[in-house]
Amino acid sequence: MSQSPLHVVILAAGKGTRMYSKLPKVLHEIGGEPMMARVIDTARSLNPAGIHVVIGHGKEMVRERVKRDVNWVEQTEQLGTGHAVKMALPHLPPEGRTLVLYGDVPLTDTATLEALLEAAGSEVGLLTDVLDNPAGYGRIIREGGKVVAIVEEKDANPEQKAVKETNTGILVLPNAKLESWLNSLSSNNAQGEYYLTDLIALANADGIAVRPVQVAASYLAAGVNNKVQLAELERIFQTNQAQALLTAGVTLRDPARFDLRGRLKHGQDVVIDVNVVLEGEVELGDNVEIGANCVIKNAKIGAGTKIAPFSSLENCEIGTAAAIGPYARLRPGAKLADEVHIGNFVEVKNTVMGKGSKANHLTYLGDAEIGSQTNIGAGTITANYDGVNKHKTVIGDDVRIGSNVVLVAPVSLGNKVTIGGGSTITKNCEDNTLVLARARQTIIEGWIRPEKESKK
Ligand code: UD1
Ligand code: CA
């Protein structure tokens, strides 16, 4: 049995009319990744000699967005699945095997494909399913237990339509036979297409065995034709991820209300409350707690840190034992050291904060460098933008900034500076100074308020 080399052909030229979208079907996402990218990554896990992706509708966008190193093959006219595989034929060597996958079947896993390759040997392997409602699928026709043909729904007679064993579309073929089989396909059928499925009867005619392997669960070979099916597979994908995280010791208050669109690295005793969305690369240290309704994208959060509800974090780093939120917004470049506190309605962008510093209420910190043990009062704003350029604000250690202070950048405050509430700071402040930059209070005693005539 020659079992190498393995080539993978992924079919993705169809239009996806029922998605009602300008986006090509295979670019719609499952778990934050285009379906096509997932299929390619799964194919890659089999270490094939080549991956050939057949594209047609929306080909430029698919190539550009999927960003994977594969052999893109064009099918200008969609004349059927058999015709689509034929487009890849010039790129397939005469020996070895070819596995056919689909860009809109996103959740097939490596184990399923390995089992199929194993069963196929050097002959034909066919991935099948058994469905209560097989309508729309190609039916597996057996004679004396042997798989002899696939009949498409539209070509099936009532007896064949009653068969519940269906074709998933995924199959393995011996390259030695591929060219002759593909060249003998005809489009003389109900849909006027060149059916890949006709290869099963051709294999039988050539005395090559067809070895069926039934999927362990339908989702592993389920395709997406509309948004209903996309949503169903997304939920299955999320449920599987949640189960894996629970199994690995992460507490999810409700696994049905948790979404991971990327990868999560986690320590021990991590607790995640309901409606949390994690995107990209997220790392949570030991004992991290994420409150309800937080959205966290590309973030590294140190041990013991708590993120309170309704916080939004993106491209940021937080040390250990910090307290963030509720309603905090950490934007790209927020780098917070251990024990930092960021409270409600505080926005932090491109700003480094040293150990133990706090900004607890209603504040904007942008393009700033803040030392340790500094307290930023409520309503403090770094005015970092002059309409053209962004400027930096530097704040030392152990600084106390009162409420409602505007720091007009570029400006720097030394260590142990105290700023009176309501100040607008435009000049640098030296270490150990008290700075007031606000109008003095005026009191007029015995002031008689004007009153309306009618009141007299
Ligand atoms: C196909 C199978 C059917 C199986 C079903 C599983 C055939 C003839 N039928 O039917 O037995 O039960 O899948 O979902 O293979 N494509 C191209 N170029 C083409 C035609 C199709 O790239 O010229 C791609 C489509 O983008 C799609 C896939 O191949 O991703 C399947 O094509 P589709 O026409 O949807 O086949 P089905 O009718 O679903
Ligand atoms: Ca289909």
Which atom of ligand 1 lies nearest, measured to the CA of 102? 30
Is 73 close to ligand 1, i.e. is its CB under 6 Å away? Answer: no
Note whether residue 297 is domain-resident: yes
Residue with tokens 């005395």, as numbered in its chain:
207
Q: Whose CA is nearest to atom 31 of ligand 1?
A: 81
Which tens digits make up the pLDDT trace of 260-308?
A: 999 999 999 999 999 999 999 999 999 999 999 999 999 999 999 999 9
Q: Identify whether residues 299 and 417 lie together within a single domain.
A: yes
Beta strands 393-395 and 139-143, pairing class:
unpaired
Is 401 part of a structural domain of the chain? yes
Domain boundary among 181, 205, 221: 221
Q: What is the pLDDT of residue 417?
A: 98
Q: Is the pLDDT of residue 1 over 70?
A: no
- Structure tokens, 299: 């973030």
Both tokens of 86, joined, read 């034929």
Last residue of a domain, one of 221, 242, 259: 221
401 C-alpha to center of ligand 1: Å?
A: 65
pLDDT computed for residue 4 by the predictor: 75
Residue 456 pLDDT grade (very low, low, confident, very high; cuts 50, 70, 90):
low
Phi-psi category of residue 175: left, alpha or beta, with phi > 0 → left and psi -120 to 50 → alpha: alpha
Does 163 contact ligand 1 (Cβ within 6 A)?
no
The verdict on residue 456 lying in a domain is no
Residues 210 and 281 in one domain: no
Closest-lying ligand 1 atom to the alpha carbon of residue 138: 11
Check pocket membership of 412 for ligand 1, CB cut-off 6 A: no
Give the closest residue to 175 by CA, choosing from 256, 85, 298, 289.
85
Place 455 in a pLDDT band, splitting at 50, 70 and 90.
Answer: low
How many independent structural domains does the chain possess?
2
Shared domain for 153 and 248, answered yes or no, is no
Pair (209, 85) in one structural domain: yes
Record the tokens describing residue 230, joined without a space. 């996309």
DSSP H helix total and E strand total for the chain = 8, 35
Cα(55) to centroid(ligand 1), Å: 13
Q: Is residue 137 part of a domain?
A: yes
Q: In terms of Cα–Cα distance, which of 348, 354, 387, 389 is closest to 372?
A: 354
Which atom of ligand 1 sits closest to the CA of residue 104?
A: 30
Residue 28 and residue 165: Cα distance in Å, rounded? 29
For residue 3, is pLDDT > 70? no
Same domain? 216 vs 233: no
- Average pLDDT score over the chain: 97
Q: What is the mean pLDDT of residues 22-51?
A: 98
Residue 442 in any domain: the answer is: no
365-388 burial, b at 16+ Cβ within 10 Å, e below that, comes to bbbbbbbbbbbbbbbbbbbbeeee
- Distance CA(437)–CA(152), nearest Å, equals 81
- 108 token code pair: 């097939």
**Residues 296 and 270 reside in one and the same domain:** yes
Query: 307: left (phi > 0), else alpha (psi -120 to 50), else beta?
Result: beta
The three-state secondary structure class of 10 is: strand
Q: Among this protein's residues, is 57 annotated catalytic?
A: no
The domain spanning residue 158 has which CATH number? 3.90.550.10
79 CB less than 6 Å from ligand 1? yes
The environment of the single-atom ion ligand 2, i.e. residues with CB closer than 5 A, is 223
Shared domain for 263 and 202, answered yes or no, is no
Same domain, 119 and 24: yes
Set 28, 57, 361, 391: catalytic member: 361
Question: What's the CA-to-centroid distance between 35 and ligand 2, angstroms?
Answer: 14
In this structure, the answer to whether residues 291 and 234 fall within a common structural domain is yes
Domain presence at residue 1: no
Q: Are residues 23 and 117 in the same domain?
A: yes
> Is residue 454 domain-resident?
no
pLDDT, tens digit (0-9, with 9 covering 90-100), for 414-431: 999 999 999 999 999 999
Token reading at 224:
């997406």
| Domain assignment present for 107 | yes
Q: Are 161 and 193 within one domain?
A: yes
Which residue shows structure tokens 């570029």? 410
At 144-177, the pLDDT tens digits run 999 999 999 999 999 999 999 999 999 999 999 9
| Antiparallel, parallel or unpaired: β 139-143 and 124-130 | unpaired
CATH number of the domain within which 415 lies: 2.160.10.10
The crossing angle, in degrees rounded to 10, of helices 59-66 and 35-44 is 60
Nearest ligand (C-alpha, residue 191): 1
Please give the residue range of the domain that contains residue 101.
6-221
pLDDT tens, residue by residue, 133-143: 999 999 999 99
CA distance 330 to 403: 21
* Span 213-236, average pLDDT: 98
Atom of ligand 1 minimally distant from the CA of 194: 8
Ligand nearest to the CA of 11: 1
The answer to whether 127 touches 223, Cβ cutoff 8 Å, is: no
Question: pLDDT band for position 258 (50/70/90)?
Answer: very high
Confidence at 454, pLDDT banded by 50, 70, 90: confident
Q: Which of 221, 248, 263 is the last residue of a domain?
A: 221
Q: What's the rounded mean pLDDT across residues 212-233?
A: 98
Q: Are residues 369 and 256 in the same domain?
A: yes
288 CA distance to ligand 1 middle (Å): 46
Q: Is 244 annotated as a binding residue?
A: no
Q: What percent of the chain has pLDDT over 70?
A: 99
Q: Is 139 known to sit in a ligand binding site?
A: no
| Interval 339-386: pLDDT, tens | 999 999 999 999 999 999 999 999 999 999 999 999 999 999 999 998
Q: Is there an atom of ligand 1 within 6 Å of 363 CB?
A: no
Decide: 128 in ligand 1 pocket, CB within 6 A.
no
Kind plus residue range of the DSSP H or E element containing 180: helix 175-183
